[in-house]
Amino acid sequence: MTDQKKRKKVPVRLIERKHSGKVVAVWRIMESLIKEHHTYLADAKIALAYHRGWNEDADGRVKLGTCAKGSDLHRQMHGYDFVITLNENVVPNLKEDQVAAIIDHELCHARPAMDTDGEQRFDERGGACWRIRRHDIEEFSDVVTRHGIYMSSLEKMAAALEEARTRPLLAAVDKPAEPDEEPKVVDRDAWQALPLSAAGINGKVGKLLAEAGIETIGSLAKRTADEGQWWWRPITGLGEVSAEAVQNRMVAFWKGHPEYCEQ
């Protein structure tokens, strides 16, 4: 018994792709997202893992997941280009679309390292080179387009789940009844017809997009969803820096207009 107490806890465990002959949910979700939205990761070797015991930060938020790139040494040892780690105390308790949003977010961190010709780099041993992409602002615009502004609500949910897990006998406090109010009807599709200027996309960039037939926020969202991360390449005069500026404008737009996002 004494030896058992002294054993060090291991909070991380790899998630096997199959259990009882079936592909487990998180693997199925990740593979579907790669096939539909992250085709540039088709040849990347990605591991999934669970972490138990992440604590909330000073702002009351709980980490939902991380994406780490394997070093040259790690790739020689286990072959993984990336490891996506999910919060085991939270993720299994979420709905599938919420889990998809989290995994989609982490996949957005994983990017091919490109050379000056826009082609993926390879090392001297013929292995593909990869990099970790930073957030556009606080969230990836692609993820916001596909899942809405989900992170804040999920982080709060995660904190509540952690509270319930660590204090299961805490009695619930009844909230006072709210006065009856007429529900507000919001047209969640109204954003699609808004001009790009509504998101602050103007000037030369706005003109280049308009010349390419992208004049509304809806047409921009469709273009990025259909074409993926390189949606801007066919547009003459629009480079990667301008494309990221467009994505940043869109993230700011979604953050400022939560009424257009699914709850």
Model pTM?
0.55
pLDDT truncated to tens, each residue of the chain (263 aa)? 555 667 888 899 999 999 999 999 999 999 999 999 999 999 999 999 999 988 776 666 678 899 999 988 888 888 899 999 999 988 998 889 889 989 999 999 999 999 888 889 999 988 899 999 886 555 555 665 676 555 555 555 555 555 555 554 333 434 444 555 555 555 667 778 888 888 888 888 888 899 899 999 888 988 888 888 788 888 888 888 788 888 878 887 877 777 776 54
pLDDT, position 41: 95
Nearest 5°: CA angle at 234, between 105 and 220?
50
| Stretch (H or E) spanning 247 | helix 240-256
In this prediction, residue 39 carries a pLDDT of 95
Distance, in Å, from the CA atom of 257 to the CA atom of 261, rounded to the nearest integer, reads 8
Model pLDDT, residue 121:
93
Phi and psi angles of residue 257, each rounded to the nearest 5 degrees, phi first? -135, 65
| Residue showing tokens 């990347």 | 44
Evaluate whether 146 touches 225 at the Cβ level (below 8 Å): yes
Q: Report angle CA 152, 215, 118 to the nearest 5 degrees.
A: 75
**Angle, CA 203 vertex, CA 199 and CA 209 arms, to 5°:** 70
Please report the pLDDT score of residue 172 as a whole number. Answer: 40
Q: Which ranges constitute the DSSP H helices of 41-168?
A: 72-78, 96-109, 141-147, 151-166
